Chain A
Amino acid sequence: MSLLEVKNLHASVNGKEILHGINLQVNIGEVHAIMGPNGSGKSTLAGVLAGREAYIVTEGQVLYQGKNLLEMDPEERAREGVFLAFQYPVEIPGVNNSYFLKAALNAIRKHKGLEELDAIDFLSLLKQKTKLVDMNESFLNRPVNEGFSGGEKKRNEIFHMAVLEPTLAILDETDSGLDIDALKTVSEGVNKLRSKENATIIVTHYQRLLNYIVPDFVHVLVDGIIVKSGGKDLAIKLEELGYDWVREETVHAV
């Protein structure tokens, strides 16, 4: 059974259809990259999977661990192990990052029937995870994303992912706004979290992130439809030839 199965997914925003029938299958242990030009519907797909309310699914089906994902509330999806690293992480003034994560982790643990972590156990877990993404411990006591630089926000997303240990992580343009050093650190963090027990979907515009996080599969999304799928070499070819190459090829194929 696949971890995630997306079948003929159509979705619209403000009455306008953006996704025109997406098919995608992700198995446990795999890393999939979804590439595409601006406006192709990449972030919409990530948003639909996470349960953003503005995105209306008009047709199709999404199964996650065999269950109907689209019927679940966003928090239920999160508790079932779906994680979205936001393209634009949100600031929550006055709410301490570690306090926020403790509430989140315990909500997830409670859902799984696990005991909630107390302050001491949680703190030692946090410290261990800060090392994983090379994050300064001072970030723990700062309000969630408030006053963080663009790069710090993205790193914080990966830190949240490290703490919450999702089964399916969706990284939405995690590389945008990162300089090369930050890109390396963030990628290393993601690679360390990669295991046979989880899967990752990387949504990106550029191929450069895939130099650091090597995907098992690459899908090219153009105008709301996956026009081409392949191995990691596809990403390199795309970088050389540009998205127009895929567009043309698709036209020829039809």
Chain B
Amino acid sequence: MATETNTIEQFADQEYKYGFITDIEADSTPAGLNEDIIRFISAKKQEPEWLLEWRLKSYRHWQKMEEPRWPNVKYPPIDYQAIVYYSAPKKKIELKDISEVDPELLRTYDKLGIPLREQEWLAGVAVDAVFDSVSVATTFKEKLRELGIVFCSFSEAVREYPDLVRKYLGSVVPANDNYFAALNSAVFSDGSFCFIPKGVRCPMELSTYFRINAADTGQFERTLIVAEEGSQVSYLEGCTAPMRDKNQLHAAVVELVALDNARIKYSTVQNWYPGDKEGRGGIYNFVTKRGKCAGVNSKISWTQVETGSAITWKYPSVLLIGDNSVGEFYSVAVVNNYQQADTGTKMTHIGKNTKSTIVSKGISAGHGQNSYRGLVEMKKNATNSRNYSQCDSLLLGDKCGAHTFPYIEVKNTSSKAEHEATTSKIGEDQIFYCKQRGLSTEDAVNMIVNGFCREVFHELPMEFAVEAQKLLGVSLEGSVG
């Protein structure tokens, strides 16, 4: 019989079985970044002059900025001149049928419950006419269009809705906000744009369509969501299926704007390549996500399940400007092997009677290092505001770490902020208890970890929650079997 330590080590031993596929015949710029490269990107995308100017201005800001050193993560210096900033995918190498796909990959898709057709698509099999992702997407789009909802790629939005883009781009995350946001503003390739007009409640989770279309979005993704007065939208980003990606640095920017009485729910599942067991390779995920509750009674809610990437640096935040507005942040972050995560949120209370809730669940396994970093700020005029924060950490094994950096600044006397934090170790006794009832070690760990994350999964849209639970199982799956 293995000892407990062994069991946990085996669990922490799960390998990312998919590796990379570099199959893109690129129409790309040479490596490196200068103003000509930015002009090239802008020209390729046939952008208006104002956008080129905006990019160039961002680039000039970026040159004067320094890469942040305060996150609790370690990585070798990034050579920004070695990165290729534009590369248009030409075509994929297509497999003839699903029998050519790595059976391990298919097994994972099955575990995640992804429909066969989508499995084929994700694995790069040539899909036949019956499953035409373009036409599926078009059907959804037409439905949404009837309601006046715009949901399209960022490039398309620049062409079709330049005024909307111009009005809101950079209005939440200014181009010079931080190092990575400035870089993104200069070179962003594409992303998504979503506009919900006054009083419209988006009738579907913006997901199915998205899963089929989002996989090719690049390294410097840009997302902008605007919800007008009284509108509502639930947006799902990412994919529980393992993503292959040859780009190491990802620096996305997401901006959300909620006007009076509007609600935006933004859910993310991130499962990018985390590097190998020794910590080689893996994605650096340096993302700026921020929402602005611009109007009264508006609400923005972030939910994230982060299991991938070698390094995660992201703080989905909310600016609570409108009176009575509400900000929420629910997070599960998993680190295994040598993964590092420095993630959390910023809730900036500016309007009166504003409320925010933070629930953060960090799971560390292997040599993983997980940090929660949060700032709750209540400005002078944000009277009668409330915040509740809860940060729980779960450790699997004894080589990993959990850290918490909560900052609270309250500048008026009528507001209240509460912070609770716990750290626990997945116990030998818990696993034994489950096994004594007939459950396998794998199921026991799964169940305990899922129980730990329950409050966050509860916030995810139903089908996504099921996928996220399964994903957690896959992420912590070991050679125990």
Bound complex: CA A101 to CA B447 (Å): 12
| Other-chain contact of A53, B3, B430, B451 (Cβ < 8 Å) | B3
Task: Please determine whether A75 and B435 come into contact, CB atoms closer than 8 angstroms.
Answer: yes
0/1 interface trace, chain B 442-476, chain A, CB 8 Å (1 if under)? 01000110111111000000000000000000000
Residue of B nearest to A108 (CB): B438
Bound complex: CA A107 to CA B437 (Å): 9
Task: Please determine whether A104 and B439 come into contact, CB atoms closer than 8 angstroms.
Answer: yes
Task: Please determine whether A79 and B427 come into contact, CB atoms closer than 8 angstroms.
Answer: no
Determine if B206 is an interface residue (Cβ-Cβ < 8 Å).
no
| Other-chain contact of B437, A53, A73, A91, A164 (Cβ < 8 Å) | A164
Residues on A with C-beta less than 8 A from B4 are 53
Determine if A50 is an interface residue (Cβ-Cβ < 8 Å).
yes
Task: Please determine whether B438 and A92 come into contact, CB atoms closer than 8 angstroms.
Answer: no
Task: Please determine whether B452 and A78 come into contact, CB atoms closer than 8 angstroms.
Answer: no
The distance from the CB of B393 to the nearest CB of chain A, in whole angstroms, is 13
Bound complex: CA A89 to CA B443 (Å): 19
Q: A53-B1, A90-B430, A94-B453 known; A78 and B435 CB under 8 Å?
A: yes
Task: Please determine whether A92 and B435 come into contact, CB atoms closer than 8 angstroms.
Answer: no
Task: Please determine whether A107 and B427 come into contact, CB atoms closer than 8 angstroms.
Answer: no
| Other-chain contact of A50, B3, B436, B440 (Cβ < 8 Å) | B436
Residue of A nearest to B449 (CB): A94
Task: Please determine whether B428 and A53 come into contact, CB atoms closer than 8 angstroms.
Answer: yes
Task: Please determine whether A94 and B432 come into contact, CB atoms closer than 8 angstroms.
Answer: no
The distance from the CB of A170 to the nearest CB of chain B, in whole angstroms, is 10
| Other-chain contact of B429, A90, A105, A143 (Cβ < 8 Å) | A90
The tally of residues in B whose CB lies under 8 Å from a CB in A reads 27
Determine if A100 is an interface residue (Cβ-Cβ < 8 Å).
yes
Residues on A with C-beta less than 8 A from B37 are none
Task: Please determine whether B452 and A100 come into contact, CB atoms closer than 8 angstroms.
Answer: no
Bound complex: CA A92 to CA B454 (Å): 12
The distance from the CB of A103 to the nearest CB of chain B, in whole angstroms, is 6
Determine if B433 is an interface residue (Cβ-Cβ < 8 Å).
yes
Task: Please determine whether A92 and B3 come into contact, CB atoms closer than 8 angstroms.
Answer: no
Residue of A nearest to B458 (CB): A94
Task: Please determine whether A73 and B435 come into contact, CB atoms closer than 8 angstroms.
Answer: yes
Determine if B83 is an interface residue (Cβ-Cβ < 8 Å).
no
| Other-chain contact of B432, A52, A105, A160, A164 (Cβ < 8 Å) | A52
Task: Please determine whether A78 and B432 come into contact, CB atoms closer than 8 angstroms.
Answer: no
Q: Is the interface of B mostly helix, strand, loop or mixed?
A: helix
Task: Please determine whether A73 and B448 come into contact, CB atoms closer than 8 angstroms.
Answer: no
The distance from the CB of A73 to the nearest CB of chain B, in whole angstroms, is 7
Task: Please determine whether A160 and B1 come into contact, CB atoms closer than 8 angstroms.
Answer: no
Task: Please determine whether A164 and B438 come into contact, CB atoms closer than 8 angstroms.
Answer: yes
Task: Please determine whether A84 and B438 come into contact, CB atoms closer than 8 angstroms.
Answer: no
Determine if B51 is an interface residue (Cβ-Cβ < 8 Å).
no
Determine if B127 is an interface residue (Cβ-Cβ < 8 Å).
no
Task: Please determine whether A95 and B439 come into contact, CB atoms closer than 8 angstroms.
Answer: no
Determine if A74 is an interface residue (Cβ-Cβ < 8 Å).
yes
Task: Please determine whether A73 and B433 come into contact, CB atoms closer than 8 angstroms.
Answer: no
Task: Please determine whether B433 and A104 come into contact, CB atoms closer than 8 angstroms.
Answer: no
Determine if A86 is an interface residue (Cβ-Cβ < 8 Å).
yes
Determine if A93 is an interface residue (Cβ-Cβ < 8 Å).
yes
0/1 interface trace, chain A 141-163, chain B, CB 8 Å (1 if under)? 00100000000000000001000
Residue of A nearest to B392 (CB): A93
Determine if B434 is an interface residue (Cβ-Cβ < 8 Å).
yes
Task: Please determine whether A89 and B3 come into contact, CB atoms closer than 8 angstroms.
Answer: no
Bound complex: CA A16 to CA B452 (Å): 36
Residue of B nearest to A79 (CB): B438
Task: Please determine whether A103 and B432 come into contact, CB atoms closer than 8 angstroms.
Answer: no
The distance from the CB of B370 to the nearest CB of chain A, in whole angstroms, is 18
Bound complex: CA A103 to CA B428 (Å): 19
Give residues of chain B (395-434) contacting chain A, Cβ–Cβ below 8 Å: 427-430, 432-434
| Other-chain contact of B439, A90, A93, A107 (Cβ < 8 Å) | A107
Q: Which residues of B contact A (CB under 8 A)?
A: 1-4, 427-430, 432-441, 443, 447-448, 450-455
* A-B residue pairs, 7 tightest by C-beta: A94-B451, A95-B451, A94-B454, A104-B437, A90-B433, A78-B438, A107-B438
Q: Which residues of A contact B (CB under 8 A)?
A: 50-53, 73-75, 77-79, 83-84, 86, 89-95, 100-101, 103-105, 107-108, 111, 143, 160, 164
11 A/B residue pairs, CB under 8 Å, sorted by A: A53-B1, A75-B439, A75-B440, A78-B435, A86-B436, A92-B451, A95-B450, A100-B447, A101-B437, A103-B439, A107-B443
